[in-house]
Amino acid sequence: MSTLFKSAMSYLSKALGLESVSSFPSRHKYARTNWRPSHFDIPYGTRPEEIERRVCTAIDNTPTIFAHINNPTPRMQRALLAVVAERLRRNDRTAGDLVELLIAAYASPYVQDAAPGLRAEIEASADEDVGARVRGVLSFLSNMQVPFDVIDERH
């Protein structure tokens, strides 16, 4: 009887939006992407496109939250890179800290490139210190033909 009660309570909790999702649905293109639900209030039943939009909005508002995402989608990465670009325009020294978060995310082999060649750039500098890696990524992004904050992949 207790398992039936627990199942019913779990169902009700999800149906009422009292629990947050921590990843995309299992068959979704980015099913490996996950995050700490305590940092993102996304109720069960939210459509994947809306989930990604909410996570990107959270990154726009609090970019350091990116550290709590495993295998971020290209769109999530571009949201972070847009903040980096804005901070660089304002000569804000914290832009490098955000690039460090991106570099850390690429430690996972499942992260897809937000920009063609970004993974290769990050992996090529694996033996360098963090500062050199950040400068390399920033240089790579500044030399791209299409600005990274304009690209937005639609599924």
What is the per-residue pLDDT for 9? 53
Domain spans in the chain, listed from the N-terminal domain onward: 47-142
pLDDT digits (tens, 9 = 90+) for 55-99: 999 999 999 999 999 999 999 999 999 999 999 999 988 999 999
DSSP assignment of the chain equals -HHHHHHHHHHHHHHTT-SB--B--TTSTTTT-EE-TTT---BTT--HHHHHHHHHHHHHH-GGGGGGEES--HHHHHHHHHHHHHHHHTT-TTHHHHHHHHHHHTTSTTPPPSSTTHHHHHHHTTTS-HHHHHHHHHHHHHT-SS-TTT-----
Phi, psi of 87 (to 5 degrees): -65, -35
pLDDT, tens digit, for every residue of 12-62?
555 555 568 999 998 999 999 999 988 888 998 899 999 999 999 999 999
pLDDT bracket for residue 106 (50, 70, 90): very high
Q: Give the tokens for residue 96.
A: 């490098």
Q: What's the whole-model pTM score?
A: 0.82
The token pair at 55 is 């996570």
The pLDDT of residue 143 is 85
CB atoms within 10 A of CB 67: 15
